[in-house]
Chain A
Amino acid sequence: MILRGLLLLWIAAWIVAAFLWAPLVPVLGPTTRVLYFHIPSAWVTVLALGWSMVHSVLYLRSRNLEHDHQAAAAAEIGLLFCVAATISGSLWAKAMWGAYWNWDPRETSIFFLLLVYGAYLALRSAIDQPERRARLSAVYSAIAFVSVPFLVFVVPRIYFTLHPDPLINTRGKIDMDPRIRVVFFALLAGFTALFFWVQSVRVRVARLERRAEER
């Protein structure tokens, strides 16, 4: 209970710090604050995906449905964070460069992750038996593991060479100011803790659902 209160205060405090204490990045102006939300969201998206895939493989080895609960829960939560990252990124792009969507490498990568999550969850929704659902989605997760590096690192570059973008993206140079860095990492930690908390709740729900089914 204390931990949850701590999380509440931690994130709240650093939100305030983001607005009142940390400076703005000159190039970004007032939209600087988006990075404190957008990048941690993207980070959790990747974290959740990794968590889900690891548990998928663990399921295939042990056939313990606990791993399936973990994998499915992480995928659902990951999807939410992925949507958050995509939308915040898009709004940010609009504010900064005038267009909601440019297919620049990073936007493309996050969109592909959206597709992977969507495919995984769509597959799960099409299977009724728990064991078969766990098994088939785990196999898919494992194959997606091969695809993700290509989707995130390679394909966006291909697209980019096909459509060179005149817009210059300066997001790489952000974390120079120490205050910005502090707030950023603090919120990164906060988002990570949030993920694990929501994940644990979702897994508990999954266990309850299974219990109800077994009756």
Chain B
Amino acid sequence: MPTEASSSPAAVWAILRKECRSEWRTRYGLNAALLFAVTSLTSVSFAVGRLGDRPDVLAALLWVVLLFAALASLSHTFVREVEGRTMTLLRLVASPTAIATGKLLFNLLFLAVIELVTVPLFLILMGAPTPSWGPFLGVLVLGSLALGTGATLVGAIIAQTRGRAALFAGVSFPILLPVVAAAVSATRAQWSGGSVAVELRLLAAYGVALLAASLMLYDHLWED
């Protein structure tokens, strides 16, 4: 059963590497997520065209696309274990917190990769004005961290229910809404030249709060 060492950073790192390796073997999740992001982006761009003069709409659309991409992909790490029945095996080797932290880091990495493709595409396709890079990246990073943390926890919960995908969006929405709201507001502000300090602080505070709560709660998620 899990020893002291199995809660350590070493365990987390091992889980993270395992996730990356599993994902890289098939790249199924990554492909699906990228396809999803690009598809939603294309639909929006096709329907709406260039919106260079509407930073408010642009900001909203960007985060809607990112939110949907997150919802489409971030529960897979847990669902995979449940369906492959590898969860019990995993828990023999590491503590629930280590497992969850490893998966969280993987999800954040995953999200980063998706955004690396989606965000530039978005800016180009939608004819967005040049962002103020400092604030813009700040919002992206903090927003994604909070988004990923919240989505991972909810993903871990719904992986053990029936009707998972359908449930994920609805159940995670109240949790993720503060992130999206603050991120949209800040993204819009940085295009209008305003300050994003308030929203950044908010995103940071919320992200930290979510992370702290998650770390305490992961222990309770798998007990059979």
Contact = CB atoms under 8 A, between A and B. Distances in A.
Interface in B169-205: 170-175, 177-178, 181-182, 184-185, 188, 199, 202
Most buried by A among B181, B185, B199: B181
Contact of A126 (B153, B161, B206, B209): B161
A151 interface: yes
B178 A116 contact: no
A161 B199 CA distance: 12
Interface stretch (B30-38, B120-128, B131-139, B215-223): B215-223
Nearest to A138: B220
The interface residues of chain B, by DSSP majority, are classed as: helix
Contacts of A139: 153, 157, 217, 220-221
A104 B220 CA distance: 38
Contacts of A158: 181-182, 185, 199
A142 B33 CA distance: 29
A144 interface: yes
A143 B171 contact: no
A154 interface: yes
Contact of B217 (A119, A143, A162): A143
Interface in A105-162: 112, 115-116, 118-119, 122-123, 126-128, 132, 135-136, 138-140, 142-147, 150-151, 154-155, 158-159, 161-162
A123 B173 CA distance: 12
Contacts of B185: 158, 161-162
A206 interface: no
A54 interface: no
B214 A143 contact: yes
Contacts of B174: 112, 115-116, 119, 144, 147, 151
Given A123-B157, A126-B162, A146 B213 contact: yes
A145 B213 CA distance: 9
Nearest to A148: B174
Nearest to A126: B161
Interface in B104-162: 150, 153-154, 157-158, 160-162
Contacts of A126: 158, 161-163, 167
16 contacts: A60-B220, A119-B171, A122-B171, A123-B158, A126-B158, A126-B161, A126-B167, A127-B162, A128-B162, A135-B220, A136-B157, A136-B221, A139-B157, A139-B221, A143-B210, A162-B56
Interface of A: 60, 112, 115-116, 118-119, 122-123, 126-128, 132, 135-136, 138-140, 142-147, 150-151, 154-155, 158-159, 161-162
